[in-house]
Structure 1
Amino acid sequence: MSAKCGCGVRPDPVVAGEGPFLGVGRSLTGRTWAARPAEADLVRRHQSALGLSEPLARALASRGVGPDEGEIYLNPTLKAQFPNPSSFRDMDRAAEVLVDALVKERAMVVFADYDVDGAASAAQLVRWMRAMGREVPVYIPDRVTEGYGPSPAIFRSLKEKGADLVVTLDCGAAAVDALAAAQEIGLDVVVIDHHLMRPGEVPPALALVNPNRPDDNSGQGMLAAAGVAFVLLAALNREARQQGLFKDRPEPDLRQWLDLAALGAVCDVTALTGFNRALTAQGLKVMSRWANPGLKALADIGKVSGNATTFHAGFILGPRINAGGRIGRSDLGARLLATDDPAEAALLAAQLDELNGQRKAVEQAVLDEAVAILEADRSYESAPVLVVSAPGWPPGVIGIVAGRLRERYRRPAVVIGVDTAAGVGKGSGRSQPGVNLGAAVQAAFEAGLLLSGGGHAMAAGLSIRPDRIADLADFLAARLGEDQARAAEADALEVDALITPRGTDRALLDAFARLAPFGPGNPEPVFAAASVRIERPIPMRGGHVRVTLSDSAGGRLKAVAWRSEDTPLGQALLAGGVLHVAGRLRADDWQGRASVELEIEDAADPRQAGTL
């Protein structure tokens, strides 16, 4: 990188392909540091064509952006990337069925998953129907008593209560038994989903829209359900237009609901590439107006103002919306996102915020117990997949805890809460790049180890008899051991730029913010600072550690390492001294200071990692 880039970054001491960045072969989290690789010729072409600084051009090139793709990447638009709804298998049929149901006033129910993606998907369809003069009820199953997705029992109950048509959102594509039961009792079902399906298995439905169904050729498999739902709205507008429904009423402006599509994309951790990136980028702009009463109420509680980012959506709004499905009433999130009443929104947001506080406490208690169980038996150190279980762990937090264990121990983790009365364990797993946990769990089900199980590469869910948990651990270790070993070897922290405390300011953050929105497929930039002194280390409530980084030029930079106090990283920060540190920059607007701080992800001792 050029030292004269005007971006507050320093020349790289090590570039891609010449060894570990800053010589860090093993950090405090056990990783190698590497410069994010970029082709030098492509970097120069981006600099010339787009007028970018060398560091920013390098970051763009390192994300796989081709020489003719830079402009649309930096300025993603729906106009340029919106897919033809008809490219989705069954999308036209779904639009025909739903518009016909609207015209004929059929008894319709929206059925959605209890997470953010499900709630955001449901709210979009409810709002479109409302704009067309129709209020449609929403049914969200209870995570504990009813489990995930539709079941024969739920469909029979909805039919008995008068439902004629059910639209499932963010679920249903794999509900073979439920859809077969619906067909038997004469309940029409339209499925809008995005989850992986088994090859050759398309259950019966009037329409099944899923970019990940085996025979779909839309190429939009990265979409969350909320993204698929937004494309459905475009198909609904088109179908309603063709039927002449807008002669006496205005056509719904779909752009007003882009915030919901973006919320689902971010919170479901989908790949922010192509159309999904444009959808999220434009959706965050709409979200920044805070016109949705539910999101505005949550933003007020979370003290969010100004422009919305993926951080706000994923870490402030999303967890609160999810809290209802995890430990409270499962329908609260969908109701919040669908309401137009600010008073109702404020009430629901307050309930969700309280539930989120309870969720955090429960989550921390389960995490502490899981860590204690694992570390009481040192065999976890050599296990390629962590499998930990205990009675009474709530199903609503085990997925989060699995994610925390995966972050802490840098390997896949499966957490199982056992219901001793029912004799069943409910489990959730989180994986790492290169280790397909969902396929392994599916294989365990097919081998007869599980009562149910499935998922995708990075996450999986299962149910199991308690006496088979040890067998499951052995099965996963045997199946994934080699993959995990390769993944661990490749588990490097990729760094975008080298900074100094003195040269790190809001201008640097704003320059790299042009690459946003960040997420899978478009990683948030990682910055490293070499041989900085750790000053004023303070342990914070929640296990966080706050410090100040200083350099020889007198520069200072505030920094924090979340949930790190009892880890080698946190202990090194609390001990002070001189360290290489790496992390992500955040805006610090406290009391109007318009500054930045570094969220530390990793650190290394220069004496052990190598020196400049």
Structure 2
Amino acid sequence: MSTLLDLPRPLLDVHRSALGRPWHERCASAPAQSLAVAIAQGHGLPEVLARVLAGRGVDLHAVPGFLEPRLRDLLPDPAVLVDMEAAADRLAIAILKREKVAIFGDYDVDGAASAALLASALRDLGVPYRLHIPDRITEGYGPNVAAVRMLAEEGATLLVTVDCGTAGHEPLAEAGRLGMDVVVLDHHGAPEVLPPVRALVNPNRLDDLSGLGHLCAAGVVFLTLVALNRRLRRDGLAIPDLMAGLDLVALATVADVVPLHGLNRAFVRQGLAVMRGRGRRGLAALLDAAGLSESPQAWHLGFLLGPRINAGGRIGDSMLGARLLLCEDPIEAAGIAAQLDALNRERQAIEAAAVAEAEAEMGMRLDRDPDQPVLVAGSPDWHPGVVGLIAARLKERFGRPAFAFALRQDGTATGSGRSIPGADLGRAVRACVESGLAAKGGGHAMAAGVTLAALDLDRFREALSGDLATSVAEARLGEALLV
């Protein structure tokens, strides 16, 4: 473990920022400083930009590709993903036979964008589909048995889950019993034992060596469509305008806060170019509802568009986001965008009250025990749709992983957590599920969700604290703002 003596002297002697972090120089080492000079001189760039690039580890010869990433240079062969060929083959069969395809997505931006991306391709190819986004409160995250049965009764013979499904053993087994084939397109952390499906494409499954674990679900869906397009060409078919979907991939990539390097940078750069053409009616309407008259930039996706699409799944109709992204009628799109804008304002008010309560409670706890590695808060008054936002605010305010729970009348608690770099929250939550402490849960290193008995909140906090104490201590010791 690092010690205080190992850490560099803070830049400009700033030992404590507004969030309690010291300032550290981004290019403190001699090699990094030399690289910054070489980048500035070799590529004619301002010194400040050169230092940022060197601090991020960008090689001298990689600078042009980093500043202007191109999809043609960075797009991998989709076949490097495990089960990709099987997924493309099964989708191609459904298209050729005009089977009814059920798409089951998540209720966040990545889920809505992923579902709309796949649905758009099927619609363009004339294939019947049924889209289902679960209700956050009544259904929860991921596929459920009741929804699977409903989709089977409606005649679907292929179920495709997007941004979920990797841990959906029981519902996906039920789909198989009902005669549906299942294809999972996901990116969440995977358990060792996977559900019984036709194909499970997830760069974060344990046996996948593609190195694409930084993709969001929409990125995985886009690669699947690339593979599908290649497969369809054998039969004289093609997805009419595959590249038009890059606006959805860019939106999901930024909103899901996945790392912006490599392929993801190309997705965002070229997706923004597509979005600026305003060809997607729903996004154009949402840009207008948000009052954005200038060309959209990456930060607009995360702070203007993303929260509005998420608002439907948080406190309103979970289908609104996907419906908007698929909408082709400008009047209908404007109406949905206005609904989402109003829901977002309501969400902001609900969130502000809950965050104030949570911060006050956690502040008092930390006054009594300042070394708590993980914060866990819960209230019967908190809306389930904002607990992730509460957790994010607690994490930012107190600099450690945090979970917030909505306590329900049936005695269960549904929660969402956010972590800090170096503390794998998703793995810790999966361990709680495997031990029987939590009924269900999972996620990423930086964010996770879980459902458990409200009476077990203290046990859950103790389990996470024991699991993450060392990694949190190391992460907090070396935490700094790089300038």
TM-score band (shorter)?
over 0.9
Contact 1:380 1:386 in 2 (8 A): no
> 2 CA distance for matches of 1:484 and 1:308?
36
SS of the equivalent of 1:382 reads: coil
> 2 CA distance for matches of 1:32 and 1:390?
34
Give the CA RMSD over aligned residues: 1.6
Contact 1:284 1:308 in 2 (8 A): yes
Contact 2:23 2:480 in 1 (8 A): yes
For residue 494 of structure 1, report the CA deviation from its aligned partner: 1.0
- Structure whose alpha-carbon radius of gyration is higher: 1
> 2 CA distance for matches of 1:443 and 1:213?
16
Structure 2 equivalent of residue 384 of structure 1: 373
> 2 CA distance for matches of 1:375 and 1:53?
43
Structure 2 equivalent of residue 273 of structure 1: 261
Structure 1 equivalent of residue 103 of structure 2: 110
Deviation readout 1:225-259 (Å, 9 max, x if unpaired) = 1111111121122111111125xxxx522221110
Alignment counterpart, residue 180 of structure 1, candidates 173, 177, 200 = 173
SS of the equivalent of 2:60 reads: coil
Using structure 2 for the length normalisation, give the TM-score.
0.94
Give the structure with the higher percent strand: 1
> 2 CA distance for matches of 1:295 and 1:135?
24
> 2 CA distance for matches of 1:163 and 1:24?
61
Structure 1 equivalent of residue 298 of structure 2: 310
Partner AA of 2:390 in structure 1: V
Contact 1:222 1:270 in 2 (8 A): yes
Partner AA of 1:316 in structure 2: L
User: Does 2:319 match 1:328?
Assistant: no
For residue 333 of structure 1, report the CA deviation from its aligned partner: 0.2
Structure 2 equivalent of residue 402 of structure 1: 391
SS of the equivalent of 1:69 reads: helix
Contact 1:112 1:140 in 2 (8 A): yes
Partner AA of 1:464 in structure 2: L
Structure 1 equivalent of residue 68 of structure 2: 75
Partner AA of 1:315 in structure 2: F
Contact 2:10 2:22 in 1 (8 A): yes
SS of the equivalent of 1:381 reads: coil
For residue 449 of structure 1, report the CA deviation from its aligned partner: 2.4
Structure 2 equivalent of residue 51 of structure 1: 44
Contact 2:101 2:128 in 1 (8 A): no
> 2 CA distance for matches of 1:473 and 1:210?
29
> 2 CA distance for matches of 1:428 and 1:214?
24
User: Does 2:122 match 1:129?
Assistant: yes
Contact 2:406 2:414 in 1 (8 A): yes
Contact 2:8 2:24 in 1 (8 A): no
Structure 1 equivalent of residue 17 of structure 2: 27
Alignment counterpart, residue 340 of structure 1, candidates 321, 324, 328 = 328
Partner AA of 2:144 in structure 1: S
Structure 2 equivalent of residue 412 of structure 1: 401
Contact 1:374 1:380 in 2 (8 A): no
Residues 296 and 478 of structure 1, relative CA distance in 2, 3 Å threshold: same
Unaligned runs of at least 5 residues, structure 1: 1-16, 496-612
Alignment counterpart, residue 138 of structure 1, candidates 123, 131, 145 = 131
Structure 2 equivalent of residue 441 of structure 1: 429
For residue 182 of structure 1, report the CA deviation from its aligned partner: 1.4
Structure 2 equivalent of residue 215 of structure 1: 207
Alignment counterpart, residue 171 of structure 1, candidates 164, 168, 172 = 164
**What is the 5 A alignment of 1:189-268?**
189-199=182-192, 201-245=193-237, 252-268=240-256
> 1 CA distance for matches of 2:245 and 2:462?
46
Structure 1 equivalent of residue 270 of structure 2: 282
For residue 135 of structure 1, report the CA deviation from its aligned partner: 4.5
> 2 CA distance for matches of 1:231 and 1:149?
21
> 1 CA distance for matches of 2:227 and 2:87?
9
Structure 2 equivalent of residue 36 of structure 1: 26
> 1 CA distance for matches of 2:129 and 2:482?
47
For residue 330 of structure 1, report the CA deviation from its aligned partner: 0.6
> 1 CA distance for matches of 2:466 and 2:78?
43
Structure 2 equivalent of residue 89 of structure 1: 82
Residues 482 and 85 of structure 1, relative CA distance in 2, 3 Å threshold: closer
**What is the 5 A alignment of 1:542-553?**
none
Deviation readout 1:539-578 (Å, 9 max, x if unpaired) = xxxxxxxxxxxxxxxxxxxxxxxxxxxxxxxxxxxxxxxx
Residues 494 and 216 of structure 1, relative CA distance in 2, 3 Å threshold: same
Contact 2:108 2:313 in 1 (8 A): yes
Residues 463 and 18 of structure 1, relative CA distance in 2, 3 Å threshold: closer
> 2 CA distance for matches of 1:453 and 1:240?
37
User: Relative to structure 2, which stretch is displaced further, 18-27 or 398-407?
Assistant: 18-27
User: Does 2:142 match 1:149?
Assistant: yes
Deviation readout 1:355-413 (Å, 9 max, x if unpaired) = 11111111112112212322344335332211111113221100011001111111111
Using structure 1 for the length normalisation, give the TM-score.
0.75
Contact 2:143 2:171 in 1 (8 A): yes
> 1 CA distance for matches of 2:198 and 2:462?
42
Contact 1:237 1:252 in 2 (8 A): no
Contact 2:405 2:416 in 1 (8 A): yes
Q: Percent identity?
A: 48
Structure 2 equivalent of residue 467 of structure 1: 455
> 2 CA distance for matches of 1:110 and 1:456?
22
SS of the equivalent of 2:421 reads: coil
Contact 2:189 2:426 in 1 (8 A): no
> 2 CA distance for matches of 1:135 and 1:64?
47
Contact 1:431 1:458 in 2 (8 A): yes
Runs of 4+ deviating beyond 4 Å: none
**What is the 5 A alignment of 1:571-582?**
none
Give the structure with the higher percent helix: 2
SS of the equivalent of 2:377 reads: strand
For residue 176 of structure 1, report the CA deviation from its aligned partner: 1.2
User: Does 2:358 match 1:370?
Assistant: yes
Unaligned runs of at least 5 residues, structure 2: 1-6
Contact 1:285 1:307 in 2 (8 A): no
